[in-house]
Each structure stands twice: as structure tokens, then as C-alpha cells.
Amino acid sequence: MKKISALLLTAMTLALTTGCTDSDIVTIDFWHNYSAGDGQVEVLEDLIAEFEEDHPNIHVEHVFLEWSALRQGVILGADTGLLPDLLRGDIAFVPQFQSLNVLEELSAYDDYETVANTVLAQPNSSNLMNGKYYGLASNTNTKILFYNEDILEAADVDVPTTLDEMWDAASAVSSETVIGYVEPWTGIWNVGPYIWSEGGDILSPDNTTATGYLNGAIPVAVISKMRQMYADGHLTGSSMNPSAMGDTDGWAAGKYAMELDGPWRQASNNAAGINYGAIPLPPGDEGSISVLGGENFMMFKTSPDEEKAAAWEFTKFLAGEHAQVEMAK
């Protein structure tokens, strides 16, 4: 009897000291678009290890997906129910995914307001629809003007201080071997800053009407200017000319002199050893108005309650100061 009691006591002691069993651990699926090329995935994996050490009952399975794959995965998942517990993706995904009725309302969580107050209000507003928040800001970015200093100097052209000067500078440096300005795409993310900075708009203030705005005098003038520059060989991009050299390759080859782009341009230009400068978008008649970009964290209705709670804990960790500083490095 004493031997049996001793064995039972030993078994109970082991059960108390071995921590979580596999059945106690909640696994969350995290889809994201952190870049492996600039070390973001490596940092993410280090952060996950730290989080799991502090939260031994939570295991994070992360999956990298490109922009289009993230979007398509959720669109398909809206029908199949196969969705992650947490996603980090483009701010433009929030209204798209909410229209599919798959996003969890995060503002319903008791501590959402406290957490939201630790991030920038303007980027986080991209999660707001009909008075409710369906995400939390992960990071934000905008677009600024990058220019090849060697090309401008060789042509004796000053760094532009206005939008008109920017277009003039692009024309002045263009030659048989150089195209003054590259604009890879022609969507609102690309041409919107030029229109807004000149005082134009693409939609009515309530975002319901395009007629009279998108085809207003200022947008037409901006697009006409770009069309003429393309015709003159002073502007190019793959959406205008599918055979045009990609912007990253064109910068590396010394073919492109200027581009309105985001912080990723800095990384690629540094890697190529380009002598470049960067300034805010030169102002038009209404000032310098660029775009708001970035990514948000989103959770999904399809997750069980335990996974939702775990995903929210991990979201708060990633939005916290430590994780933000590590990722920013």
C-alpha cells in the first residue's frame, strides 16, 4: 500500500510540474505577407518564439503568402470556411473582407480601445466601418519621391520643389538612355497623389459619386499631362507599356530618374548601390498629399472562441512596443 501511495504521489507531482500537455495547447493559424527578403520573416519567427515562451498554452503556425494569394485565400475561404485565425494584410483588404461577412469585430473586445490608443489613429481608421473596427493597425507607410542624384546632377537639373517642377525635371533629364519618370501602375494608389495635391478628387465627399469628380477638370489635366509625357518618352511604366523595364531593374540599370514610391524602394536602391535622394511629394496647388498604405491585423468569425482569444493575445503582442521596434529594425 505504501508503494502504491508513493507511485501515485510521484505521478501527481510530475503532472503538476510538466506544464501544458498537447491537449492544453491552442494552435492558431497566422497568414501574413512579411517579407523574407529583408529579414522580416526571421524577426517574426524570433518574436513568435518569445511569445510562445511567455504563453506556453499557445502555439502559432505562420504561413507566408503573397498579396494576391492572401486576398484570394480569404475570398475562397469565405465559401469553404477554411480561414486563418489571424491575418496581417493590406489595409484595402478590410472593407473587401468585411463585405464577405467573415471578419471578427475587434472593437467588441473589452480592451480594444486601450490597445488601439497605442497605435496611430489615422492608420487605424482604415479598420473602421459603420462605427465598428474590424482590425488593428500593424504598420503604415506612404509614398515619397525618390530621385537618382547622379542623373539629375549630370543634366544640371535641381531637385524639384513643386509638382510642375517635378514633371519639368523628368522631361529635362530624359534622353536616349534615360526616362525621367517611372510610374509602374495607373490606379488611384499611383495617380491619386498627383490629383489630390492639385486640388482634385476622384469621388464625392460621401464616396458615392464619381461623375463630375473623376472626370473633373483637375483629374483630366493631370492624366492628360501624364499621357503627353508618356507620348514624349519622358514617362513609362508596365501598365502603360507592358514591355517597359520593371522599376527595380530600371533603377539598377540607371534608366529611371524619379519615382513616387514607398519605403521598399529604399531597400532595393541600397542593395543596388544607387546614389539617390528622397523627399516628400513636391506640392501642387493644394499642397503635398500622398497615399496612406500599410497593413492591418484581422481576425475571423470562423475561429472557435479559444482560438479567437489566443489570436487576440498574439495580435496585442505584435502591436506592442517590443515587437514593433524589433520589426522596424
Residue 80: enclosing H or E segment and its boundaries? helix 67-80
Residue 24 pLDDT: 87
pLDDT at residue 7, rounded to an integer:
40
pLDDT tens string, the chain, 329 residues long: the values are 444 444 434 444 444 444 556 668 999 999 999 987 778 999 999 999 999 999 999 999 999 999 999 999 999 999 999 999 999 999 999 999 999 999 999 999 999 999 999 999 999 999 999 999 999 999 999 999 999 999 999 999 999 999 999 999 999 999 999 999 999 999 999 999 999 999 999 999 998 999 999 999 999 999 999 999 999 999 999 999 999 999 999 999 999 999 999 998 998 999 999 999 999 999 999 999 999 999 999 999 999 999 999 999 999 999 999 999 999 88
CATH classification for the domain delimited by 144-279, as one of 3.20.20.80, 2.60.40.1930, 3.40.718.10, 3.40.190.10: 3.40.190.10
Angstrom distances, CA of residue 262 to CA of 21, 97, 144:
45, 24, 6
Domain boundaries, the chain: 27-141+294-328, 144-279
| pLDDT value of position 38 | 75
Predicted pLDDT of residue 328? 87
How high is the pLDDT of residue 46?
98
How is residue 39 written as a grid cell?
529579414
Q: To the nearest 5 percent, what fractions of the chain are helix, strand and coil?
A: 45, 20, 35
> How many whole angstroms separate alpha carbon 106 and alpha carbon 90?
17
| The architecture CATH gives domain 27-141+294-328 | 3-Layer(aba) Sandwich (3.40)
Ranges of beta strands (E only) in the chain are 26-32, 58-64, 86-90, 128-129, 132-133, 136-141, 144-148, 179-182, 235-236, 256-261, 276-279, 293-299
What is residue 16's predicted lDDT score, i.e. its pLDDT? Answer: 42
pLDDT for 3: 43
Q: How many residues does the chain have?
A: 329
Q: Is 293 helix (H, G, I), strand (E, B) or coil?
A: strand
Same fold, 27-141+294-328 and 144-279: yes
Q: Are 84 and 30 in contact (CB under 8 A)?
A: yes
